[in-house]
Amino acid sequence: MQLTPGLATVLTLLSLSISASAASGSLTIPLAKKSSVTRPDGTVNIEFLRSHTARIAAKYRHTFAAYEKNTGSQHSLLASLIPRNDDASSETKSKGEGVVPLTDENAQLWQGTISVGTPPKKFTVDFDTGSSDLVLPGSNCGSSCSGHTLYSPSASSTAKDLGKPFSLAYGDNSTVKGEQWTDTVNVGGLIAKAQTLGVASQYSEGFGLANFPADGLLGLAFPSISSYPATPLFNTLMTAKPAQLSQPLFAFKLSTSGSELTLGDVDTKAFKGQLTYVAVSAEGYWQVSLDSVNVGKTQVAKNAQAIVDTGTTLIATSSANAKTFYAKIPGSKERSDVFPGLWTVPCSSASQINVSLTFGGQKFAVSPQTFVLGAISSGSPDCMGGVMGQGAAGDAWIVGDVFLQNVYTVYDMGNKRVGFANLA
């Protein structure tokens, strides 16, 4: 969510290990959290925050640029989310559904496992609803990819060189670049043949192992923000012959009690009540109307636009919106001296903070446990709040892990809508 150093915010990475679900030919991919803005001692990891926000800010820059190149028009949220200034610094199941279990280790990067090539080789990837491309570190990547599992096209009989380079500039003054290839990709037992992927010969600092434990990135947004441009993996699955999906949708459960990505169906045991669906208001990102942002019974924002982004940890918005938001939380402080756009709340009253977001007329709570990210330093009475604001104007919000850990979300590409429900 950091389109600005603050708007990019802290990324959510998904780490998977395949696990089977019993429901009618379904597959589950467990998701794991591998890195965190919160240190083991309960304090905020400012260095991670700095690296992550720069990388996410850059993600939105190049996806907005891709949208304009692919559609011929500027994205409607460009002015709201791009800062005026940037000072930041082979498992196979029957057809129908794939479920990828997601692991949670200390909160920050949701990652899961896919297999690529023939014979298949396993990689962990960040499943990111805020981008559309698949990127893996290549065998010629060198020290910038140190510690990651490397993809070698020469080791796969189904790999094909497209002869096209790619280059993604990031806010840490470094670049992810390499060559585009196609190969067979297996996600939870679902097969995408001739899938375009970027094979990186250079990773940026933000993709270094310390900041990005996953090997690569797998985007799950719409084709119009593909930077290659190419058909995203989920769209490949939607049109595959024979059919790979029971339904043209996928869903996330992101929770410390067990996380997963489901492809082609929903896990009805993962949520309670009914799903509340909201139409995608602008195809590209998973962008929907946000009725309101609430602190207690007070609406601090209303009739806004939101991007639902599993690749970002915080909830991010403009500086003005953040100021209005925290004005309703007694004892909150703006702490740009620690990090641009960061706000704190009193640790002593953190458990009483009542934040919620309203989508489709339904209010969904943000628990204090996900909203409060830890003490600003060891022994400090001030804790970091989960809403960050910086730089940009407008009423757009990027809704990441701080909110998404509280709800089950369904991304229905066939009907172009997002569903929300409370976790079971």
Provide the annotated active-site residues.
Answer: 128, 309
Look at residues 94, 80, 107, 123 and name the one whose alpha carbon lies nearest to residue 13: 107
Q: How far apart are CA 195 and CA 160, in angstroms?
A: 10
Q: How far apart are CA 254 and CA 274, in angstroms?
A: 18
Q: How far apart are CA 232 and CA 350, in angstroms?
A: 40
- Number of Cβ within 10 Å of residue 298's Cβ equals 13
Pairing of strands 298-308, 397-399: parallel
Query: Cα–Cα–Cα angle for 250, 255, 256, nearest 5°?
Result: 150
Buried b (16+ CB within 10 A) or exposed e, 65-102: bbbeebeeeebebbebbbbeebebeebebebbbbbbbb
- Only one residue has tokens 């809403």, namely 387
Amino acid making up residue 302:
K
Contact criterion met (CB below 8 Å) for 352 and 278: no
- Number of Cβ within 10 Å of residue 300's Cβ equals 21
3-state secondary structure of 335: coil
Contact criterion met (CB below 8 Å) for 285 and 224: no
Sign of CA dihedral 354, 355, 357, 358: positive
- Only one residue has tokens 């769209």, namely 235
**Residues pairing with 308 in the sheet:** 399
